[in-house]
Amino acid sequence: MNLNSSITLSEFENLFKSHYAELCAFANKYLEDVDAAEETVQAFFVKFWENRETVNIKTSQRSYIFTAIKNACLNQIKHIKIREEYKVVNLREKEDSQYSVDEEFEASELDQKIRKSIESLPEGRRRVFIMSRFEGLKYKEIAEKLNISIKTVENQMGSALKYLKSELSDYLVTLVLMFNFFMK
């Protein structure tokens, strides 16, 4: 057979029959999957037959087909790795997204519970708490603004914190984690 000209059907059949099993075994060494190896070899022969008029083999026929199978296997391995990496990244993004949604919902729920608990404090206690925690005033400044003693501010804050701790006990772990996160 002239390697630089179009291959006949009988030559192709002979090439297929004489090398198919050996090429499948060769491909299986790379792919470690008998079915994938057979598919790769079959795909090579289909492509080889379709391009038979333009194939220009400059090496030995055996070398050409084994090199083609090796390259096909390496491309398939590369494709499989890319697909697996994509799956891992996609799964990670999905998990991150799920955690984000869950955390956002929990934070929203916690925020509502905190606001409700603060609103349910008696007026004076609520005012002391807001001035301390949200406005950042020191106890002395609060006492001066409200015209009450520092001891009263301390008592009101202690009572407010005790009440909020009991009201938000279901969220204590989340609050501690949030507090630690924001303190870093």
Reported as a single tens digit per residue, the pLDDT across 134-161 is: 888 888 999 999 999 999 999 998 898 8
Please determine, for residue 20, whether its predicted confidence score (pLDDT) is greater than 90.
yes
Residue 163, domain member (yes or no): yes
Per-residue model confidence as pLDDT tens digits over 61-81: 889 999 999 999 999 898 888
**What value does the mean pLDDT take over residues 154-173?**
81
Question: Final residue of a domain: which of 80, 114, 137?
Answer: 80
Which residue, of 80, 97, 128, is where some domain finishes? 80
Same domain, 70 and 99: no
Asked if residue 105 and residue 75 are part of one domain, the reply reads no
Residue 113 lies in a domain: yes
Does 144 share its domain with 170? yes
Question: Domain boundary residue among 21, 55, 80?
Answer: 80
Same domain, 22 and 93: no
Residue 57 lies in a domain: yes
Are both 141 and 178 inside the same structural domain?
Answer: yes
Residue 170 lies in a domain: yes
Domain region containing 122 = 88-183
Average pLDDT over residues 56-60: 82
- Our count of domains for the chain comes to 2
Q: Are 157 and 139 in contact (CB under 8 A)?
A: yes
Higher pLDDT among residues 104 and 153, named by residue: 153
Q: Read off the pLDDT of residues 121-141 as tens digits, 9 standing for 90 and up.
A: 999 999 998 898 888 888 899
Residue 2 in any domain: the answer is: no
Please check whether residue 152 lies inside any domain of the structure: yes
Highest mean pLDDT among 11-15, 24-28, 112-116: 24-28
Neighbours of 165 (CB within 10 A): 12
Do 44 and 107 sit in the same domain of this protein? no
User: For the whole model, what pTM was predicted?
Assistant: 0.47
Query: Both tokens of residue 90?
Result: 């996609």
1, 7 contact by CB (below 8 A): yes
Rounded to the nearest integer, the mean pLDDT of the chain is: 82
Examine residue 129 and state whether it is found in any structural domain, yes or no. yes
Based on the domain organization, do 177 and 96 belong to the same domain? yes
pLDDT digits (tens, 9 = 90+) for 32-53: 989 999 999 999 999 998 888 8
Q: How confident is the model at residue 31, as a pLDDT?
A: 92
179 and 105 within one domain: yes
pLDDT of residue 4: 44
Any domain includes 1 = no
CA distances from 44 to 22, 30, 41 (A): 14, 15, 5
